[in-house]
Amino acid sequence: MKVTRIAYSARLNPGKYAALVEQARRLGRVRSEVWQRYGSIAGVGSGLRDRRVRDRWLVEGVHLQFGVLANAWKETVRDAMADITASLEAAKVEVRRTINRRTSDPAERKRMFTALTANQWASDPFLARQMRQHWKRGKNGTHDQIVVRADKHNTIVDGRGRLWLAVPGLDRRKLVRIPLSTTVAPSGTLRLILRGGRVEVHYQIDASQMRSSQRPCGEATVGVDKGYTEALTDSDGVRHGCGLGELLTGESNRLKERNRRRAKLRSIANTAALRGDHAKAHRIKANNLGVMKRDRQAARHRALVRTEIFTAVHRVVDKAATVAAEDLTKTFAGHKALGRNINRRLAGWTKGVTAEALKSVSERRGSALVHVNAAYTSQACHRCGRLGRRSGDRFHCTRCRVVWQADVNAAINILHRAGDPDIALHTPHQKVKQILQDRTDRHRTRLPVQDSSPAPAERRANYPNRSAMSN
Ligand SMILES: [Zn+2]
């Protein structure tokens, strides 16, 4: 398993940076060309490989217009084709869901899944229609990256112990030397991302080399519930990553304040420009509305949150051989709907990081990650199964007459779901509710009625439609 590492340039000469930016811009045109020509059903959708594209371009002379070295455009073609393939595969995930909804016949399902995997969906009218619907034609948005093949770069350490990375520039005979702020030499294929006057060197290392991967996992089976104040709460009642809430609230407040200030400055600059005071407008834009500091602060915040979440997951895996959790990648669908709301955007992103951490740490340390259906896990009592209400961090069960800590209650429910014979990962929401209600009903007929407040539950059971609306 691979993990991504990032090295940063340190005090890079602006002239060198500008040359790299120009190279990345030209390679961005290569990417656009690839998306334009092959980002469709007839291109990557038909199983076209990047090697074929390279051969074709060499014959037709397509590459001549870009003004970059051969290796640079070839690697970029490969990278762009991989991007297109990734977008295609993402669409297939959606289409697999529609196949499951369309038919329950195992043979028919298998036939469609196989056609989808082998990129032979174009001949099947249903699959072709679904793919067209879910695979929207994309276009390239990347103009700031350079991919460097493993044998095209090298590093040296200078007399003062500083590490320099040499990569090809636009000129065949001259390498561009980039001073790095680390002493660990990047290896393998590099992705240089040019951001805010600084070069980010992304590369992958084998996870087994990492110290944290050598720690074995624990022996228990643990359920976890993701939170906002803390990264995770486990079914033993322990909270992990308790600094998360403070980090997110701090960032959210900082962003709101900064956006407010920037809006004000922007309006001052616009007013000045209207008045004809272009010098002032320019001064504000250059000195106060730049993106360099903003982007670096954002990167620093992202790194802090990632550390908090990964550390939390490590703490769980310290004791767990099996971790039961909600599939947090699934809820990622409504990306656009999040809009400008800072808190929701941060929460959505945090969820993605938690999902990544659970998967990556489990794989590296050898614990099993079991995704469970999390429907109603925060609204049911873990002891008796009755649906109740969560208010803030408390969950009150009217049958047990106990107030649970809501996140611990949810984590225990998630743990139970891992071994639930009736509720599978993809059991629909409504059906989960029905199963839970049937269970408590069965429970009730077995026991003498001693509950003083059964009314709400009975109403729900008698009028399922109304309860669906109120949820
Ligand atoms: Zn209960």
Distance 385 CA to ligand 1 centre (A): 6
User: Would you say residue 110 lies in a domain?
Assistant: yes
Residue 353 and residue 228 share a domain? yes
Distance 442 CA to ligand 1 centre (A): 14
Distance 321 CA to ligand 1 centre (A): 28
User: Would you say residue 183 lies in a domain?
Assistant: yes
Residue 247 and residue 175 share a domain? no
User: Would you say residue 216 lies in a domain?
Assistant: yes
User: Would you say residue 377 lies in a domain?
Assistant: no
Distance 219 CA to ligand 1 centre (A): 29
Distance 276 CA to ligand 1 centre (A): 71
Residue 401 and residue 338 share a domain? no
Distance 468 CA to ligand 1 centre (A): 22
Query: How far is Cα 455 from Cα 386, in angstroms, rounded to an integer?
Result: 13
Residue 353 and residue 229 share a domain? yes
User: Would you say residue 289 lies in a domain?
Assistant: yes
Residue 168 and residue 117 share a domain? no
Residue 276 and residue 224 share a domain? yes
| Backbone angles phi and psi of 369, in degrees to 5 | -100, 120
Picking from 84, 104, 134, the residue at the C-terminal end of a domain is 134
Domain around 413: 389-470
Which amino acid type is present at position 205? I
Residue 89 has a pLDDT of 85
Residue 294 has a pLDDT of 86
User: Would you say residue 7 lies in a domain?
Assistant: no
Distance 437 CA to ligand 1 centre (A): 13
Query: How far is Cα 112 from Cα 133, in angstroms, rounded to an integer?
Result: 16
At which residue do the structure tokens 């802090």 appear? 304
Domain count, the chain: 4
Distance 388 CA to ligand 1 centre (A): 8
Distance 256 CA to ligand 1 centre (A): 41
Measured CA to CA in angstroms, residue 164 lies from 167, 178, 189, 199 at distances of 10, 5, 16, 12
Residue 225 and residue 124 share a domain? no
Residue 442 and residue 342 share a domain? no
Residue 237 backbone class (left: φ over 0; alpha: ψ -120 to 50; beta: rest):
left
Picking from 372, 397, 421, the residue at the C-terminal end of a domain is 372
Measured CA to CA in angstroms, residue 341 lies from 231, 347, 375 at distances of 21, 10, 25
User: Would you say residue 379 lies in a domain?
Assistant: no
* CA nearest neighbour of 72 among 18, 35, 25: 25
Distance 453 CA to ligand 1 centre (A): 13
Query: What's CA 61's distance to the chain center, in Å?
Result: 38
Residue 436 has a pLDDT of 92
Distance 68 CA to ligand 1 centre (A): 68
- At 272, list the tokens: 């000045």
Instruction: From first to last of the 471 residues of the chain, give the pLDDT tens digit.
Output: 788 888 999 989 999 999 999 999 999 999 999 998 888 777 777 778 889 999 999 999 999 999 999 999 999 999 999 988 888 888 888 888 888 888 888 888 888 888 888 888 878 888 888 888 888 777 888 899 999 999 999 999 998 889 999 999 998 888 999 999 988 899 999 999 998 889 999 999 887 777 777 788 999 999 999 987 899 999 999 999 999 999 999 999 999 999 999 999 999 999 999 999 999 999 998 888 888 888 888 889 999 999 999 999 999 999 999 999 998 876 544 445 555 677 888 888 899 999 999 999 998 888 999 999 999 999 999 998 899 888 888 999 888 888 899 999 999 999 999 989 999 888 899 999 999 998 887 766 655 544 444 433 333 323 333 333 333
Output the 3-class SS for 277-318. Answer: CHHHHHHHHHHCCCCHHHHHHHHHHHHHHHHHHHHHHHHHHH
- At 25, list the tokens: 């811009």
Residue 215 and residue 205 share a domain? no
Residue 152 and residue 89 share a domain? no
User: Would you say residue 6 lies in a domain?
Assistant: no
Picking from 84, 107, 134, the residue at the C-terminal end of a domain is 134
Residue 454 and residue 342 share a domain? no
Query: How far is Cα 296 from Cα 294, in angstroms, rounded to an integer?
Result: 6
Distance 382 CA to ligand 1 centre (A): 7
Residue 215 and residue 204 share a domain? no
Distance 403 CA to ligand 1 centre (A): 9
Residue 441 has a pLDDT of 79
Distance 411 CA to ligand 1 centre (A): 15
Distance 402 CA to ligand 1 centre (A): 7
